Amino acid sequence: MRVDLDVEGAAPASLPRFQRANLQARRLSRLTYVLGSMGVLGLVVSLFVDLFSPNSLWTAVLTNSAASLLVLASALQSAQVVALWRARVIAPDDALAANADETVEADEQGWYDRLLGRIGGAGTSMVGQIGAPVFWLAGWVLLALISISMIWNMGLIGSDVGLVGSIVGGLLLLIGFGLLVLERQFSNESEASWPEAEQLAQITRVAIGTLVIAAFCLFFSSVDRVWPARLAVLIGLLPGLVALELFIRALLSIFSPRNERLEPRMVASSFVAGLLRWPPRPLMALQNELHNRFGIDLRQIWAFTYMRRAFLPVLAVIVALGWALSGVHEIPMQGRGIYERFGKPVEVMGPGLHAGLPWPFGTMLAVENGVVHELATSVSEGATSEQALDPAEGPPPAVANRLWDATHINDKSQVIASGSGDKQSFQIVNMDVRFVYRVGLSDEAAMAATYNSADIPSLIRSTASRVLVHDFASRTLDELLGEQRTDLAADIGDAVQRDLKKLDSGVEILATVVESIHPPAGAANAYHAVQAAQISAQALISRERGAAADKANLAQLHASIAHDQAAANSRETMATAQGADLRFTAEQQGYAKAGQAFLLEQYLSQLTLGMTHAKLLVLDHRLGGTSAPTIDLRSFTLPVDPSASPKSAEQPSAE
């Protein structure tokens, strides 16, 4: 490729940036390989550390440092593209020879190799139009962004890195010192000999700052300090913002026309990295960027000139006004405030707006106004203040388990008196006693709670522990389990309130609640055995009572049946006797009226009843051959059938 250009009225070979392009390209190539390899190595080590120790300080330090080196390597590669273009411009013969060699080599290849070459050429045509360096730049910075986002965790806790942390911190400082030498070399380059040197120096400052801060985080890291871990994560914002800006620039460069005859510009130029200078001049950097990119000179606008001149006076007036307004304090409805003038408390102020001397001559200390708190006398060490809320429809939480064989976070072990016969001993019980308190509503109580008590919950807890030890030393287990909890809670609350009043704490105990008093979890099996024996005895008593009730009910049923049967029999006998009496009376009256005819009628009736089911042949000695028999036909109905059933007709009777 041969390009004859006239840049700024001179041949390219006479310009310093073209004369040193070959040397600059080789130098940038070596730096790109070294820094890129270090960045990739740092990411690999960070990945292995995260596998064995996730969410640790090492992951944040190594990942952010590696990301800053990758961003710097991508910028160096972008500058190398520009240097290579300049080198090809002043030495076109080498490029033409390389193209000729490629043509001869292509002619010597077979049809299969030429086919593969055409397929590869079709795939790389779009890359050739856009430019492969743009894809490399986007890939490097995207890898840095993904790495920073994966380790972003502001909830890291402090850790002790030991001697290894000091060694790695020293190594990071050593790499930072080497980059500082490189940055000084870039800064000393003139714009005529190397226009991209200033932009490379700015991105190098980003990597230096990241490495130095990461090293200091390792030096000061300990279990008690949290800020080194948080700062190690937060420092990732610096290379992250630069990487994001470079990624956006790489995407926008796709829409820029690419001409091989025009000198390319370095894509990896960062406005964010340009702010890292001393003294910081963000407005000047913005002004230069607008002038270079769009040709807008803000210095020619009178309004901006006036704003620049009036900036300091206006800023001074705003600062003075803000300082004066620091003497105005707003107290919410649920609070109070103690106003201090020159460090001396003056008065207690209620809710509303209050004006006083500005800070630091006048300050306002916030005090609670009627806020009610609940405090347990004991909290286990493993309990955390922040616990996830259990769902309303789900199973009850473990803390709601009130069985004796579970130790609760608010249970406090207490020694009580015990007596066995004539011997005296002691026992241990677990109890959950809670106090509902607030800061007194008077001004004196607010003053006392603020200046006489450094930690009100700890004061109440220690006072309650002392009162409980003194109060339960003379009580036995039977008294505690049998006594009313309201009376016991009232006694404890009064004793704690008296001690707090003696200490002038300004705290008011509103209520004392005894949630539970039970033996310790270790003695749960013995007490469960006692409870099981009692339950078994009660079950046996209930079972025997049920059997006795069953037998009594059965006997009562039999007696009732016998009584009812006797009553029925007596009633039937009486009814039969009454019926016989009535029949006798009627027959007596009939005999009195009818005489012998009634007797004959009764005789025939009884005879009919007696012979209803019999076939009779009546023979009478009074019947002779000369006299015919007489048959009473009054009880017969037509038609008369001598062979009919006895149920339908009565047998004839002789008269």
> Mean of the pLDDT values across residues 309-316?
84
Phi, psi of 362 (to 5 degrees): -135, 130
Give the per-residue pLDDT at 333: 83
From residue 51, give the alpha-carbon distance in Å to each of 48, 153, 155: 5, 16, 18
Give the per-residue pLDDT at 476: 63
User: Does residue 620 register a pLDDT over 70?
Assistant: no
From residue 64, give the alpha-carbon distance in Å to each of 43, 71, 162, 208, 563: 9, 11, 20, 12, 103
Q: Are residues 423 and 497 in the same domain?
A: yes
Tens of pLDDT along 149-172?
A: 888 888 888 788 888 888 988 999
The tokens of 535 are what? 């339950």
Q: Are residues 89 and 232 in the same domain?
A: yes
Q: Are residues 358 and 480 in the same domain?
A: no
Torsion angle of the four alpha carbons 105, 111, 116, 118, in this order, in degrees rounded to the nearest 10: 80
The tokens of 507 are what? 């705290």
Give the per-residue pLDDT at 635: 57
Give the per-residue pLDDT at 605: 83
How many domains does the chain divide into?
5
Q: Are residues 474 and 357 in the same domain?
A: no
In angstroms, the CA 64 to CA 210 distance is: 7
Contacts of 603 (CB under 8 A, 6+ apart): none
Give the per-residue pLDDT at 418: 60
Give the per-residue pLDDT at 629: 59
Cα 208 to the chain's mean position, in Å?
A: 39
In a domain, 27, yes or no: yes
Give the per-residue pLDDT at 275: 74
Residue with the bigger pLDDT between 256 and 385: it is 256
Q: Are residues 164 and 174 in the same domain?
A: yes
User: Does residue 402 register a pLDDT over 80?
Assistant: no
**Number of C-beta neighbours around residue 170 at 10 A:** 13
**Number of C-beta neighbours around residue 80 at 10 A:** 22
Tens of pLDDT along 487-517?
A: 777 888 888 888 888 888 889 988 888 766 6
Q: Are residues 181 and 249 in the same domain?
A: yes
Computed on alpha carbons and rounded to an integer, the radius of gyration of the chain in Å comes to 57
Q: Are residues 342 and 464 in the same domain?
A: no
In a domain, 265, yes or no: yes
> Which of 493, 519, 545 is the C-terminal boundary of a domain?
519
In a domain, 122, yes or no: no
Tens of pLDDT along 297-307?
A: 666 667 767 77
> Mean of the pLDDT values across residues 447-465?
87
Q: Average model confidence (pLDDT) for the chain?
A: 76
Give the confidence band of 648 by pLDDT, cuts at 50, 70, 90: very low
Q: Are residues 336 and 457 in the same domain?
A: no
Handedness of CA 439, 445, 446, 448 (dihedral sign): negative
Tens of pLDDT along 408-437?
A: 555 565 555 565 555 555 566 667 788 899
In angstroms, the CA 449 to CA 128 distance is: 76
Tens of pLDDT along 362-383?
A: 888 888 888 888 888 765 444 4
Q: Are residues 542 and 599 in the same domain?
A: no
In angstroms, the CA 655 to CA 653 distance is: 6
Phi, psi of 364 (to 5 degrees): -125, 120
In a domain, 445, yes or no: yes
In 3D space, the residue among 495, 505, 488, 481 whose CA is nearest the CA of residue 433 turns out to be: 488
> Which of 219, 252, 269 is the C-terminal boundary of a domain?
269
Tens of pLDDT along 74-119?
A: 888 888 888 888 888 776 655 444 444 444 444 444 554 555 556 5
pTM, two decimals, is 0.49
Q: Are residues 53 and 199 in the same domain?
A: yes
In a domain, 172, yes or no: yes
User: Does residue 289 register a pLDDT over 70?
Assistant: no
State the DSSP string of 446-514.
HHHHHHT-S-HHHHHHHHHHHHHHHHHTT--HHHHHHS-HHHHHHHHHHHHHHHHHHTT--EEEEEEEE
Give the confidence band of 640 by pLDDT, cuts at 50, 70, 90: very low
Least confident of 97-101, 195-199, 634-638: 97-101
In angstroms, the CA 624 to CA 411 distance is: 127
The residue range of the domain holding 467 is: 373-379+406-519
In a domain, 168, yes or no: yes
Handedness of CA 455, 456, 459, 460 (dihedral sign): negative
> Mean of the pLDDT values across residues 517-539?
70
Handedness of CA 103, 108, 109, 115 (dihedral sign): positive
In a domain, 291, yes or no: no
Tens of pLDDT along 555-577?
A: 999 999 999 999 999 999 999 99
Least confident of 233-237, 255-259, 364-368: 255-259
Q: Are residues 231 and 94 in the same domain?
A: yes
In 3D space, the residue among 430, 438, 433 whose CA is nearest the CA of residue 457 turns out to be: 438
In angstroms, the CA 229 to CA 250 distance is: 32
Give the per-residue pLDDT at 426: 53
Q: Are residues 601 and 587 in the same domain?
A: no
Give the per-residue pLDDT at 480: 61
Phi, psi of 388 (to 5 degrees): -70, 140
In a domain, 182, yes or no: yes
Give the confidence band of 194 by pLDDT, cuts at 50, 70, 90: confident
